[in-house]
Amino acid sequence: MNKVVFVCLGNICRSPMAEFIMKALDQDGSLHIESRATSSWEHGNPVHQGTQKILRKYAVSFDSSKGSQQISQSDFEFFDLIVGMDESNVEDLLQVSAGRYDDKIKLFRPGGVPDPWYTGDFEETYNLVTAACQDWLQWIRDRQ
Ligand code: 4NP
């Protein structure tokens, strides 16, 4: 269980934040970590400036050339863990999975992560995402 994808609506705010925080926490690089969108709305667009700013503030390195990518059928097959950042992301993922990959689909944290696209509060998102990524890393390590 080492291939993890974080999924949010646009793949520009929350899921890339989780991707890069998780990569920073996974110091030995034992995990394959990516992020995706449930929608194609932001296709090809870069990580949101608010997410870039908060990652720089906390010295979390990120790929500034990353563009938003909608989750595909091959992603459902490839990844071991498909983590929706909120309940509606999980609902959308379960709908696309149509029973085939349901066991891989998880909610990132109880209550989900509020979307800073709407709240504007990237600091709150950063704190929630960091704490939950630490929990996920432990959860994965416990199963390896
Ligand atoms: P994200 O935030 O799902 O955390 O990347 C959003 C990004 C874009 C939109 C909504 C949420 N949008 O409406 O385009």
- The CATH number linked to 89 is 3.40.50.2300
User: Which residues are CB-neighbours of 109 under 8 A, at least 6 positions away?
Assistant: 128, 131, 132, 135
Beta-strand relationship, 105-107 and 32-37: unpaired
Answer yes or no: is the C-beta of 14 below 6 A from any ligand 1 atom: yes
For 87-135, the pLDDT digits (tens) are 999 999 999 999 999 999 999 999 999 999 999 999 999 999 999 999 9
How many structural domains does the chain have? 1
69: left (phi over 0), alpha (psi -120 to 50) or beta: beta
| pLDDT band per the 50, 70, 90 thresholds, residue 144 | confident
* Cα distance between residue 29 and residue 22, in whole Å: 10
For residue 1, what pLDDT is reported? 83
Nearest atom in ligand 1 to the alpha carbon of residue 68 is 5
Tell me which residue range forms the domain holding 136: 3-142
CA 44/CA 84 separation, integer angstroms: 20
14 classed as catalytic: yes
Enumerate long-range contacts of 96-100, CB under 8 Å, 24 or more apart: 96/38, 96/71, 100/76
Catalytic residue from among 26, 75, 92, 115:
115
**Residue tagged active-site, from 14, 26, 36, 75:** 14
The pLDDT tens digits for 50-81 are: 999 999 999 999 999 999 999 999 999 999 99
